[in-house]
Amino acid sequence: MKQLAEVRSNVYFEKKIDEQKNEVLKKRFELVFVTDEAGYTRTNDGEISRVRKLKEQRFTVSEDGLTQLIANLLLIQKNSEEK
C-alpha cells in the first residue's frame, strides 16, 4: 500500500480572457503528492529483494478547488474523530 511521504506545491499563473476581453491572471496550484511504496528487485545471486520506491502524483487546482479540497480533508478528519 502506498504511504504519503511528502506534499509539495508550486504556484503559477494562467492568462485568461474575461467577459470584457481583458487578459487576467488566474492563480493555479500544482500539488505534488510524493508517495512511498514497496518495490522488488532481483539481486545478482538471483534472490528477490524488497526495496522502497518514491513516486509522485501531480495535479493542478484553482484557488477555489484548493479551498474545497482542504474543506473535504478536514471533514474526513472530523468524521473520523466522531466515531
| Model confidence pLDDT, tens digit, residues 21-79 | 999 999 999 999 999 999 999 999 999 999 999 999 999 999 999 999 999 999 999 99
Please name which of 39, 37, 32 lies closest in space to residue 56, comparing C-alpha atoms: 32
Q: Residue type at 70?
A: I
Please name which of 34, 21, 16, 30 lies closest in space to residue 62, comparing C-alpha atoms: 30
Cβ contacts of residue 54 below 8 Å, gap of 6+? 5, 34, 35, 36
The pLDDT, as a whole number, for residue 82 is 76
The pLDDT, as a whole number, for residue 64 is 95
Model confidence at 1: pLDDT above 90: no
DSSP 8-class letter at 7: E
Model confidence at 83: pLDDT above 90: no
Neighbour tally for 8: CB within 10 Å: 11
The pLDDT, as a whole number, for residue 25 is 93
